[in-house]
Structures are given as C-alpha cells and as structure tokens.
Amino acid sequence: MSTTYTRPTVFQTKLFINNEFVDGVKKTTIPVINPATEEKITDIAEATERDVELAIDAAKAAYPKWHATSLRERSMLLYKLAELIERDFTTLVSLESLDNGKPIEGSEADIREVINNLRYFAGWADKVTGKTYASQTETLFYTRREPFGVVGLISPWNFPLLMCEWKFAPALAAGNCVVHKPSEETPLTILWLCRLFKEAGFPAGVYNCVPGYGPIAGETLARSHRVSKISFTGSTVVGRKIMEASSQTNLKKVTLELGGKTPVIVCPDGDLDMAVNLAWNAIMYNMGQCCIAGSRVFVHESIYQEFVNRLKAIESKVTIGCAFTGANHGPQVNQTQMNKILGYFDHAKNVEKLECIMGGERWGTKGYFIKPTVYINVDDNSKLAQEEIFGPVLCILKPWKTIEEVIERANNTKYGLAGVVITKNMSLSDKLVRELQAGTIFVNTYCIPQSFIPFGGYKESGFGRDNGEEAILEYTQVKAVYYQLDEPKL
C-alpha cells in the first residue's frame, strides 16, 4: 500500500435532514460495531418513522427549486461533490475499512469507483432527452422525460458508499430529491458524505440521510404515499416486502437489485491459471459479501482434478486480519452474518457430508472472521449450491461433460444476476453468453460493474438497472405530448 492508513476519528453521527445534522425525534441510537474487533466504534442517531417523514417533508419542499435548477448547475454540483470525495479519499477509505471490515485495497477500489461514477452521472444531467415523432398531420408528437419528485433509496452494507452513490447520482442528475436510508450496520462513510453535500453547495433538502432499522425506517419510506419511487439493493426476501409495500400503497415505481448465485464455467481450453485465480477472486472478494460472487464453479471433467490441485495452493497467500494490519481477507460484517455461515458449515458437515478441502470454520476467537472455504464434488441441488450464503464459501460442483449439460446446470437456480465464462473459443463463449440467464456475463474476467454499463438481474435477482443510461431512465418517467399546430399559411 502506497498510503499509510490508520484508524480514523468519527466526526458525525446524527441524521442529515434539510442540510442539517439533527438528533432523531425519539433520541434513540444504534451502536456501530467494528467487525474486526467486536468493539463499539460509536453510536449513531436512529431514524424512526417521524424522522423519515421529516426527511420526506424536506425533500418535497426542495423539489420545485431543484427541478427548476439549471441542468448545468446540477452537473457542476455533482462534479464538485466528486472533487470533495477525492480530497477526502484517505479518510473515506479508512472509515470504510473500519466500519465494514474490508481490506484497504477493497476500500480504495470502492472509493475510486464512487468518484468515477459520480463524474459519469454529472455528465448526464444535461443529456436527459425525449423523442420527436414523424407526422404527416398538423399534430406534433413528442415525449418528455421528467423526474419523479421524491425518491427513496435503500442501500446495503457490503459496499456502503459505492451502492449509495450508484443510486443518488442518477437520481439527482435526473432532477429528483432524495431520502436515503443506508444500512445501519455501515453508515459512517455516508454520514461523512452528508458533510460534503452541504460543503458542495447542494440546496437544503435535495439529499437527506436517515440511517435506521429496515422494519422501521425502511418500511416507512417504502409505504409513504409521498415517495414516488424506491430503489433497493439487498436480499430477495426484503425485496419482496418492498414490492408488497408498493402494491398496498401508491404503486410507486420500484427498482430491485437482489440476490445472486453466480456460476463460473471453466471450459477445457481456458487458461487454467487464470481460471483458478479468477474463480478464487470471484468468491473471496469482499469476503464473499457480494451479490455477484462466483459461488458455483463448473469445471470440465478433463481438467477438474488439476483445477482443484491448483486452487489449494492459493490458500497459503491468504492473510486474515484487521484491514489496518495489511491483511487481504477481513471479517464478515457482523455476528449474525458469521453465525449464518457457520450454520452452513454445520449443515455441510453433518447433513450433506460434503468434502471440504480448506476452511469450513471460524478464524480466531475475536472478530467475525471466517476462513476461506472450498467444497468439491458438490451436487447441484445441495443447499450450499442453491442458497445465497454471502460469505467466502466456494462450491466446486461435480464435473461437466457437454456444453448443453453445463448450460442447463448453470441456469438451475432461482437467481440470475451474473455469470462467468472462461474459454478461448469465441463461438463457445458467444453461445454461453446467449444461453446463460443472467443480467451480466463476464468472459475471461471478473470485476466490479462499471459506471457506463447497466447492472441488474434476471429472475429473482430483481429488475431495473443501476449504472449507465438505463439508470438515468430508471429515475425518470415518460410524458407523451400531442401538440395541434395551426394550418400552415403563406
């Protein structure tokens, strides 16, 4: 690491409503825990129902002015915010690793992407356009794309600042005002961001942040008749509740980015060393706490044993521990998540009798650390192969023989967020790209989704898209206009 990172000081713990930091109405708090030590970092103000309603009040009052703000000014404010994040890069990286537990390298990558993505969407502020339609009559037909007004954003704990920015940047660029409920598990970088919104000069009420528990703050936001759209990233279980809340109230538009069970297909002609490293990184990145984690690996029978042998060698390169010690594998985000993974280990050992070639247990006695874990010869219908574990747990499924077989097996899941293909054969990769039922396919690579490429899922992985032009469209609605012209006269 070129920069030395140390544990940062937490400067802000209150709610952010109407450009002011305020205590919650009930003055209750939520403890924020360091997952590497299990010690409390701080307490933050808890947003309850009334706090969310006050944030909606502020956003609703701010909307007419923000909607009327020139497109250039909207763009310049977003650019300014990116500059301030870049200025505070070291602090934000440190806060992210302290709060979430991820290695410094991962936090650095996340904050760089925040800056890049924010600049990308700043460029979209003056490019949201409708269409004009050809007509042989005296009627002009055209469409306008207009913002919704007040939108609610609910972001997860695994990529706290990045997933937050994926939502607020296109929402604000399109002219909406925002009420954002970040995860109460990892709110610290987002509360720092609130300071930067004010410093950048955003009008009061344009962005409001209300950390709170999902069943209280999140549900209030999802059920509000004054919120016209919700964008949610999280579990499929909670996604269903968001949909239910929308259907029972004002039928607000919903974007959902939910769970995943990404297949990694290794073909016999693929670069084996690359395949091994890619498969490892696809599941161990962020300690497996990633919706596109490559948790199911399908290896051709001709290279199966060699693939397993080479994978075993990677274990020696893993250093587990606190981010500030330079470790490359951190803890799970909380005790609940750790215990959930340990439950899968117990099931694998005592019920399914799976063959574990590494890991399968907790690391140490302090902190929520799980050893990188690999099971081999796993049946497609195993609980571990079908359910989203959200941890550093790799299932290498039974070998495959034919391409038709592996396509059918890879699609044997309720999820459809991503897929990975490793082959040098373009015809083969093209067939797999076409046949795999997923919203994103990586061929001979695996990476964080990019700002200019739409990201979202098929099947129970959700609908709607983050990133790219599609994200801007998600935060606008279409108005059709019929304009009767006068009879032309000379």
Mention every residue, 6+ apart, whose C-beta is less than 8 A from residue 454.
Answer: 439, 465, 466, 467, 468, 469, 470, 471
The answer to whether residue 209 is catalytic is no
Catalytic residue among 96, 165, 185, 257: 257
Contacts of 158 (CB under 8 A, 6+ apart): 100, 286, 289, 290, 291, 333, 390
CA–centroid distance for 169 within its chain: 14
Q: Which of 194, 291, 322, 395 is catalytic?
A: 291
Tell me the pairing of strands 150-154 and 229-233. Answer: parallel
3-state secondary structure labels for all residues of the chain:
CCCCCCCCCCCCCCEEECCEEECCCCCCEEEEEECCCCEEEEEEECCCHHHHHHHHHHHHHHHHHHHHCCHHHHHHHHHHHHHHHHHCHHHHHHHHHHHHCCCHHHHHHHHHHHHHHHHHHHCCCCCCCCCEECCCCCEEEEEEEEECCEEEEECCCCCHHHHHHHHHHHHHHCCCEEEEECCCCCCHHHHHHHHHHHHHCCCCCCEEECCCCHHHHHHHHHHCCCCCEEEEECCHHHHHHHHHHHHHCCCCEEEEECCCCCEEEECCCCCHHHHHHHHHHHHHHHHHCCCCCCCEEEEECCCHHHHHHHHHHHHHHCCECCHHHCCCECCCCCHHHHHHHHHHHHHHHHCCCCEEEECCCECCCCCCCECCEEEEEECCCCHHHHCCCCCCEEEEECCECCHHHHHHHHCCCCEECEEEEECCCHHHHHHHHHHCCCCEEEECCCCCCCCCCCECCEECCEECCECHHHHHHHCEEEEEEEEECCCCCC
Question: Token pair for residue 139?
Answer: 């009627």
- Determine contact, residues 6/94, Cβ cutoff 8 Å: yes
291 is an active site residue = yes
Q: Which of the residues are catalytic?
A: 257, 291
